[in-house]
Amino acid sequence: MTKSLRVALWAAVLSCLGANTALAANGVLNPGDYIGFTFFTGYMAMFAASVFFFFERGRVADKWKTSLLISGLITMIAAVHYFYMRGVWLDTGTSPTQFRYIDWTLTVPLMCVEFYMLLRPAGASSAMMWRLIASSVLMLVAGYMGEAVQPQSNVMWGVISTIGWAGIIYEIFMGEGKKVAAASGNAVIQSAFKQLSMFALIGWAIYPIGYMLLPGNLLSGMGIPPSNMDLIYNIGDAVNKIGFGLVVYAMAIKDTK
């Protein structure tokens, strides 16, 4: 990709983020409603991914069937919530914050379980899994408090939420996760673990960006309407959840062969 093309793409993204979208409030997807568009595409993409993961379970070794099942559950749970979230958006033109956090509260801990399932054959402990789950719950509960319950204190809750995210990052980059992966001696597992770790480090960073657009937070003065947080979250969900599952699927297929 040339430099000029990259600049043009970034300009288009920033234009979309800064523009006033044609908000829906009548149950109809209006032209120019980028956010409503991503609700629909996200719903269908994650539903299709679930069907794919469920059907592909038959192609992998028994030790990876549960991992593929969890991948399918993650995208299926998200698809169901996106079905309701796109309804809230079309009917009211407001952010479906409650549905979104219910979705994350179910799917993010399951994504943490995927780390454990990946490393379990190499000797990962269940204690590692519970530490990851606890960190993810702290991250999500604090985020919900700052976004929906006490928005006037969103900076404080954002700091607490970041502590939960940091706990996940520590576990997979410096804690038991990294040590078990390194000692596994399985190049396929090591590669998959590295890719999933990058999702947690880089892919999940899109959510704090959306959170910091809240009024009074660090990015609130950038001229990006807070309603466009949903655009950021929708794109992040589709990339992270489907991508996460595809990494697990590719690993399971390679290890089985």
Instruction: Work out the burial of residue 92: count CB atoms within 10 Å of its CB; fewer than 13 is exposed, 13-18 middle, 19 or more buried.
Output: middle
Q: How far is CA 78 from the centre of its chain?
A: 10
Q: How far apart are CA 251 and CA 94, in angstroms?
A: 39
28-32, 58-62, 162-166, 186-190, range with the lowest pLDDT: 28-32
DSSP state of 205: G
**CA dist., res. 22 & res. 256, Å (int):** 48
Examine the pLDDT at 19 and tell me if it is beyond 50.
no
Terminal C-alpha separation, the chain: 34
Q: Chain-wide mean pLDDT for the chain?
A: 86
d(CA 191, CA 184) in angstroms, rounded, equals 11
What is the fold of 28-256? Answer: Rhopdopsin 7-helix transmembrane proteins (1.20.1070)
Encode pLDDT of 46-80 as tens digits: 999 999 999 999 999 999 999 999 999 999 999 99
- Better-predicted residue by pLDDT, 35 or 241: 241
The token pair that represents 77 in the structure block:
């749970």
What pLDDT is recorded for position 90? Answer: 86
Angle at CA of residue 65, ends 130 and 63, nearest 5°: 75
pLDDT of the residue at 95? 85
Whether the per-residue pLDDT at 9 is higher than 50: the answer is: no
Per-residue model confidence (pLDDT) at position 91? 86
Q: Which residues have a Cβ under 8 Å from the Cβ of 208 and sit 6 or more positions away? A: 158, 161, 162, 165
Residue 210 scores a pLDDT above 70: yes
Reduce the DSSP state of residue 33 to 3 states and report it.
coil
Contact 249, 53 (CB under 8 A): yes
The per-residue pLDDT for range 136-161, each reduced to its tens digit, is 999 999 999 998 899 888 899 999 99
- In this predicted structure, the answer to whether residue 184 has a pLDDT above a threshold of 80 is yes
Non-local (6+) Cβ contacts of 205 within 8 A are: none
Q: pLDDT at residue 15 above 90? A: no
- pTM of the predicted structure, to 2 decimals: 0.85
Q: Which amino acid is at 200?
A: A
DSSP state of 239: I
Q: Does the structure show a pLDDT above 70 at 115?
A: yes
- Would you state the pLDDT for residue 208? 82
Per-residue pLDDT, 223: 65
Give 31's DSSP letter: T
Query: What residue segments make up the domains of the chain, in order of their start?
Result: 28-256
Q: What gap in Å lies between CA 207 and CA 159, rounded to an integer?
A: 13
For residue 186, pLDDT over 80 is answered with yes
At residue 173, what are phi and psi to the nearest 5 degrees?
A: -105, -25
Task: Give the position of tokens 């992040």.
Answer: 236
pLDDT digits (tens, 9 = 90+) for 87-107: 899 888 888 889 999 999 999
Q: Tell me the C-alpha distance between 79 and 230, whole Å.
A: 15
Q: Which residue has the higher pLDDT, 102 or 21?
A: 102
Least confident span in 17-21, 49-53, 134-138, 162-166: 17-21
pLDDT reading at 34 higher than 60: yes
The mean-pLDDT minimum among 20-29, 131-140, 165-174 falls in 20-29
